[in-house]
Structure 1
Amino acid sequence: MSKVNTVLGPVAPEELGVVAVHEHIGYGMPGSELDTRWWKTPEQRYEETVPKLRRFREYGGGTFVDATGICNGRDVDYYKSLSEKTGVHIVACTGFVGGDTALPYFARQSVDQLTRLFVHEITVGIGDTGSLAGVIKVGVSRGGRMTELDKRIYRAAARAAAATGVPVLTHLAIDPEPAVAVFREEGLPLDRVLFGHADDGLNAPKTPHRWIFEQGGRIGFDTFGYETELEDPPFWARPRQERLDHFLGLLNAGYLDQLLVSADANCSPLGWPGVKGHTVNYIFEDLVPDLRGAGVDDATITALLEDNPADFLTIRA
């Protein structure tokens, strides 16, 4: 039976509904929990998060993939409570946002040790939560080139993905050649990899989009909403129309089956204020209307938001 791991247990792919495939319940850099300026009570975190997830559900959203890796604020018991409270399926990940966010304990581990960690969290559980990870997170460290630690994490992720059948989601799609080489050496089909953040203003110019497609990989246009038109845009922002035109160009070139979309929003940021005015619900409030306004039909929108992510997240035993 086909299934997807969520924090409340396995779910059939057809039950996922609309999927936000790259989001965060609460993301922060390692150590942010020690900065008293940013301490939040459980009540404050719920106050910031629950209305966003409830609105997501009201709009028709079914599944929220939390791409927060180990060391960056992952809190699976909290995710379980939120899922029970809002009715939104939440998929948790194992892995790391990038080698530069892996604390020394993990950074010193071998490929075999990291592989065992990822496999354990996918097949046995994350800590004592009883929840299984549904995706593996990897990433390119700051600087725009994969470090030796990044490559070690990617190799462990590839081995764990091949062994368990869960997919891999990357932070950034820049410098993909060494990543593709690792995945191929480990026998992981590239349609099991979603190269994320291929659309942000900082990295889109450096990302070989069509080359990734030609290798068989999937691409995430998953920073929709981080726009230069915001009152206080982040450094990775991009003009709204420019991003949309870029996306439509790839869509019209025949890459629909390999494209996924999301907003990479942070429900309750940890250690930083976040980006005001940007939530996961940009998908429904702005992206879908923009796509329809550009002439994209409902079948294509369904493929982007339901069919493609369901296929990506389904465990392939």
Structure 2
Amino acid sequence: MSRVNTVLGAIPAEELGIVAIHEHVGYGMPGSELDTRWWKTPEERYAETVPKLRQFHEYGGGTFVDVTGICNGRDVDYYKSLSAKTGVHIVACTGFVGGDTALAFFARASVDYLAQHFTHEITVGIGDTGSKAGVIKVGVSRGGRMTDLDKRIYRAAARAALRTGVPILTHLAIDAENAIAIFAEEGLPLDRVLFGHVDDGVNADKTRDVWIAEQGGRIGFDTFGYETELPDPPFWARPRKERLDHFLRFIGGEGRLRQVLASADANCSPLGWPGVKGHTVNYIFEDLIPDLRDAGLDEDTIRTVFVDNPADFLTIRR
């Protein structure tokens, strides 16, 4: 039977339902917990997050994949509480958003050490929570090219993925040539890698999404909702129609529908920064799926993107 690690235990992939594949319960940079301006009590974070997850569940959402990563506010006991309270399956990750978010202890670590650490969090558990990670997060540091540390993290992630069977999800799909070369050297099939954020407003024109798909990688259109039409759009925003048209063009290519996943990259309760007002995970139900229907996509296609493809991707494959 296909299985997926959630914070409350492994479940059959068939029970995931509609999946938000790239989201955050609460994301912040290392040290944000010391910033008195944006610091929040646990009660305040709870009050911000629970209504969003309850709404997600009421809309029909089944699984929320938190890809916050080590050092960026990952709190697995908190995720367990949220999952039990809202009925939403939550998948936690191991790994890092990027090498530039790894604290010095990890930044000095060897590939073998990092691979062992990721493997432990997947097979034994994260800290003393008893919860096992269901996906490995990796990323490209600021600057647009992988640093030596990024490359070590990618290589360690590939080794852990091969040992454990869980997939890898990337933060940004730029510098994909280096990433794909590392995965090839380690013998990791690219269908176990989701190259994320191909649609963001900063890097979309630098991302070789079709080429990555041709190599066998999965493609994440996962910044839906970060629109220039927002009252105070972030620097990575993009016009709504432009992003939607990009997505529709991509899935129109022969065979590419089975390689694509979509999400909103929302931050339920931002840590150390104000976040983006007017944007939540529920953009998927309130705007994106209606837009896809208006564009002529049928229900089978929508199910492929939000149910079938995520279930196949998240399934543990040793």
TM range (shorter): over 0.9
Residue of structure 2 in register with 1:291 after alignment: 292
Note if 1:243 corresponds to 2:239.
no
Q: How does 1:271-290 map to 2 (within 5 A)?
A: 271-290=272-291
Deviations 1:223-269 (A, max 9, x none): 00000000000000000000000100011113100000000000000
Residue of structure 2 in register with 1:260 after alignment: 261
Q: Once structures 1 and 2 are overlaid, which stretch shifts more, 190-199 or 248-257?
A: 248-257
CA distance in 2, matches of 1:269, 1:90: 17
**Unaligned regions of 5+ residues in structure 1, if any?**
none
CA distance in 1, matches of 2:268, 2:35: 19
Note if 1:73 corresponds to 2:36.
no
Question: Residue 236 of structure 1 aligns to a residue in which SS?
Answer: coil
Residue of structure 2 in register with 1:34 after alignment: 34
Q: TM-score, normalised by structure 2?
A: 0.99
Task: After TM superposition, give the deviation of residue 10 of structure 1 in Å.
Answer: 0.2
Please report the RMSD computed on the Cα atoms of aligned residues, expressed in angstroms: 0.5
CA distance in 1, matches of 2:220, 2:167: 13
Residue of structure 1 in register with 2:200 after alignment: 200
Residue of structure 2 in register with 1:172 after alignment: 172
CA distance in 2, matches of 1:231, 1:187: 46
Task: After TM superposition, give the deviation of residue 37 of structure 1 in Å.
Answer: 1.4
Deviations 1:99-145 (A, max 9, x none): 00000000000000000000000000000000000000000000000
CA distance in 1, matches of 2:127, 2:176: 31
Specify the code of the residue in structure 2 equivalent to 1:270. L
Deviations 1:20-51 (A, max 9, x none): 00000000000101111122111111110000
Q: How does 1:1-317 map to 2 (within 5 A)?
A: 1-254=1-254, 255-317=256-318
Specify the code of the residue in structure 2 equivalent to 1:143. G
| Structure 1 segments (4+ residues) deviating >2 Å | none
Percent same amino acid at aligned positions? 80
Specify the code of the residue in structure 2 equivalent to 1:310. A
Aligned length: 317
Specify the code of the residue in structure 1 equivalent to 2:107. A
Specify the code of the residue in structure 2 equivalent to 1:301. I
CA distance in 1, matches of 2:46, 2:85: 10
Question: Residue 56 of structure 1 aligns to a residue in which SS?
Answer: helix
Task: After TM superposition, give the deviation of residue 2 of structure 1 in Å.
Answer: 1.4
Specify the code of the residue in structure 2 equivalent to 1:100. D
**Unaligned regions of 5+ residues in structure 2, if any?**
none
Specify the code of the residue in structure 2 equivalent to 1:30. P
Question: Residue 170 of structure 1 aligns to a residue in which SS?
Answer: strand
Task: After TM superposition, give the deviation of residue 303 of structure 1 in Å.
Answer: 0.3
